[in-house]
């Protein structure tokens, strides 16, 4: 598969000697195992880590020991578990909203709850689940067919659902109404709950909450959303049927927790086939997590966002770089990864525009500075540009049509946009525009611009050049 070279790695200066030891140990370990099976242990380790970075940690690790408390949602988890269990065992109807920002672990907590419930055999037999997602079920008709499909009701056949919208609704409601406390409980999980409130008349939500309110088949409605004001989106009649039980999941972990999450994401668990390698690897991760450069990097990332998904993204690049010739995570890869992620995209795009386009951007920057954000049109930009090109620079003066083409390219890149979306009524030279690049971005891009003429740079610096 992968070729392995005996050549010793050059080690980046920031790495201490221990990493070199790590490298050799892990490599020799990898070698012995590789001889036995034909898949290299390092690539096995890599695929396990990749799995952890995309799907999150395997759930059973949360349930039996520490990592869950690290996430800090212990109480919320128990509350939710208790609620669903009551529906599943004693036929109680409930409704709850789980609210938290993106990437705060709402779905993960929910998954853990279900996994925990599933370990109980009686509940597993008894409880029915319906998973809905506001992104997929964009209207009530689709949502209803999806519910009937997931409940495998008798008007379905091989995943096909029969009947019109009203028939399906009536059928479903009757099925739910005919039940009582003794019938099988149903767990409804509505992901992206706020999108369900945009449905016409909120029929689905009304009916679900109504069933949860009245003594019909026991249901538990769990809405997962990232909007804090989601209750205000509900209609009055829907709101009054909702139990107003809310569970908030906020990212309130400290930096210490963050480092522990970092370690957890990279460690191999007890399921890994080669335990000697795994313990060796985990020691290596432990050492990496104490490296000052990595800690500094994590601190920077932490102040930027506490989102675990962002952390997973940061770790993806170093993990991807693992291979037979470099079996360890190197600090320089973390630095590289952070550089890739935090790149300012607009400055990067400005780096690639031609000199003529750069001149136009500088002219627009001057216009917005002088006229304090008033919109401008192409003619103004052109006259500003030609003032510069004729008087100050040694550059050739391009004719209007060529400049207009450059200007349109900038519009296409959406660095400039029209103030009023319409356009056909006005000639394109006179359409009012606004710039969407900040001047600091322009100055930063100018610093990095390859072979930028000096006069252009001087012009950019002096805003009152006329």
| Residues between 141 and 170 with contacts to another protein, criterion CB under 8 A | 142, 146, 159
- Helix or strand (DSSP H, E) at 212: helix 203-213
Separation CA 383–CA 40 (nearest Å)? 65
Q: Which is nearer to another protein, 142 or 153 (CB)?
A: 142
Q: Which is nearer to another protein, 147 or 261 (CB)?
A: 147
Compute the least distance from the CB of residue 78 to another protein, in Å. 25
Compute the least distance from the CB of residue 409 to another protein, in Å. 8
Other residues' Cβ atoms within 10 Å of the Cβ of residue 133:
17
Query: Is residue 355 at the binding interface for another protein, with CB under 8 A as the rule?
Result: yes
Query: Is residue 397 at the binding interface for another protein, with CB under 8 A as the rule?
Result: no
Compute the least distance from the CB of residue 289 to another protein, in Å. 20
**Residue 374 Cα distances to 47, 365, 419, 438, angstroms:** 54, 11, 10, 15
Residues near 81 by beta carbon (within 8 Å), at least 6 away in sequence: 113, 116, 117
Q: Which is nearer to another protein, 260 or 349 (CB)?
A: 349
Query: Is residue 54 at the binding interface for another protein, with CB under 8 A as the rule?
Result: yes
Separation CA 419–CA 376 (nearest Å)? 9
Q: Which is nearer to another protein, 256 or 451 (CB)?
A: 451
Compute the least distance from the CB of residue 336 to another protein, in Å. 6
98 and 110 Cβ atoms separated by less than 8 Å: yes
Residues near 23 by beta carbon (within 8 Å), at least 6 away in sequence: 9, 11, 326, 327, 328
Stretch that binds another protein, among 120-128, 200-208, 386-394, 426-434 (CB under 8 A): 426-434
Q: Which is nearer to another protein, 54 or 124 (CB)?
A: 54
Residues between 196 and 255 that touch another protein (CB under 8 A): 226-227
- Rule CB under 8 A: choose which of 349, 411, 443, 452 binds another protein: 349
Separation CA 442–CA 316 (nearest Å)? 31
338 and 291 Cβ atoms separated by less than 8 Å: no
Query: Is residue 129 at the binding interface for another protein, with CB under 8 A as the rule?
Result: no
Q: Which is nearer to another protein, 56 or 67 (CB)?
A: 56
Residues between 263 and 292 that touch another protein (CB under 8 A): none
Separation CA 341–CA 334 (nearest Å)? 11
């Amino acid at each position: 598969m992968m070729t392995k070279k005996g050549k010793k790695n050059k080690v980046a200066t920031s790495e201490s000697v221990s990493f070199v030891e790590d490298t050799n140990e892990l490599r020799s370990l990898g070698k012995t195992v590789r001889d036995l099976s034909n898949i290299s242990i390092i690539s096995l380790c890599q695929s396990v880590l990749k799995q952890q970075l995309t799907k999150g940690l395997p759930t059973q690790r949360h349930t039996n020991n520490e990592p869950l408390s690290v996430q800090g949602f212990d109480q919320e988890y128990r509350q939710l578990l208790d609620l669903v269990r009551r529906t599943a065992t004693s036929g109680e109807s409930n409704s709850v909203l789980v609210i938290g920002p993106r990437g705060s672990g709402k779905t993960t907590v929910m998954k853990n709850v279900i996994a925990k419930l599933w370990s109980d055999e009686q509940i597993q037999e008894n409880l029915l689940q319906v998973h809905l997602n506001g992104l997929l079920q964009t209207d009530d008709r689709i949502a209803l067919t999806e519910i009937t499909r997931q409940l495998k009701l008798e008007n379905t056949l091989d995943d096909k659902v029969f009947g019109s919208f009203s028939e399906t609704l009536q059928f479903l409601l009757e099925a739910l109404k005919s039940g009582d406390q003794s019938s099988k409980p149903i767990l409804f999980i509505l992901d992206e709950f706020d999108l369900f409130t945009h449905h016409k008349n909120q029929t689905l939500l009304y009916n679900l909450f109504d069933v949860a309110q009245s003594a019909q088949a026991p249901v538990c409605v769990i809405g997962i959303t990232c909007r804090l004001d989601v209750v205000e989106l509900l209609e009055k009649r829907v709101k009054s049927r909702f139990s107003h039980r809310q569970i908030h999941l906020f990212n309130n972990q400290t930096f210490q927790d963050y480092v522990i999450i970092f370690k957890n994401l990279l460690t191999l668990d007890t399921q890994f086939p080669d335990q000697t390698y795994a313990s060796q690897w985990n020691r290596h991760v432990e050492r990496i997590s104490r490296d000052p450069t990595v800690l500094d990097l994590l601190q920077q990332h932490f102040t930027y966002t506490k989102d675990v998904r962002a952390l997973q993204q940061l770790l993806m690049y170093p993990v991807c770089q693992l291979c037979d010739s470099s079996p360890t995570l190197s600090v320089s890869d973390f630095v590289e990864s952070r550089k890739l992620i935090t790149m300012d995209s607009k400055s990067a795009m400005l780096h690639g525009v031609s000199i003529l386009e750069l001149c136009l951007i500088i002219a627009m920057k001057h216009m917005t500075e002088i006229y304090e954000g008033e919109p401008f049109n192409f003619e103004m930009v052109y006259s500003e540009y030609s003032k510069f090109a004729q008087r100050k620079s040694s550059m050739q003066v391009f004719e209007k049509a060529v400049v207009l083409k450059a200007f349109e390219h900038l519009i296409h890149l959406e660095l400039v946009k029209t103030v009023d979306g319409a356009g056909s009524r006005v000639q394109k030279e006179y359409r009012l525009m606004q710039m969407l690049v900040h001047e600091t971005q322009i100055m930063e891009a100018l610093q990095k611009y390859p072979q930028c003429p000096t006069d252009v740079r001087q012009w950019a610096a002096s805003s009152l050049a006329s």
